[in-house]
Amino acid sequence: MTIPRVVLLYGLAGLIPFFAAPLGTMLAPDFRWQFNEALLWWSAIILSFLGGARWGAAVQADAPSPRLIGLAMLPSIAGWLILVLVPANMRVIQFSALATALLLHLLWDLAARAMPCWYGRLRMVLTAGAMTALAWQALLQG
């Protein structure tokens, strides 16, 4: 089954803020701090969104699994912790940690049976885009 068009288009639109940061940094390097912040927060928001998708899938069961409900909370917590615990002078570590969290969530999604059959393909495309933007912004920290 193919990825529904509306889902693909909105998913790809979600990559715009990811790529806006490195493009903005290249075009207006004096505003790198603001672009860094925007990318960090957007990445954490997306992690929360992905956890919410897993939460939504888990609660559809008649007796939701406490384990799955707990795991669905981890992306939000991880994103928040990466933002608040890693010092601002360690941006590359923050970008790397967020990229790693997105990759781990992708691996979880690829192994899951609860999501539609096209979901893994969508997540591969979107995660590759997000990780590329995070790596690009990390390289621009110079």
Each residue's pLDDT tens digit, 32-70: 999 999 999 999 999 999 999 999 988 988 898 999 999
The rounded percent of the chain whose pLDDT value lies above 70 is 100
The rounded percent of the chain whose pLDDT value lies above 90 is 88
Q: Is the dihedral of CA 85, 25, 48, 128 positive or negative?
A: negative
pLDDT recorded at residue 112: 83
Reference 103, options 46, 53, 142, 65; nearest CA is 46
pTM score:
0.94
pLDDT recorded at residue 106: 97
User: What value does the mean pLDDT of the chain take?
Assistant: 96
Q: What is the pLDDT of residues 88-98, one digit of tens each?
A: 899 999 999 99
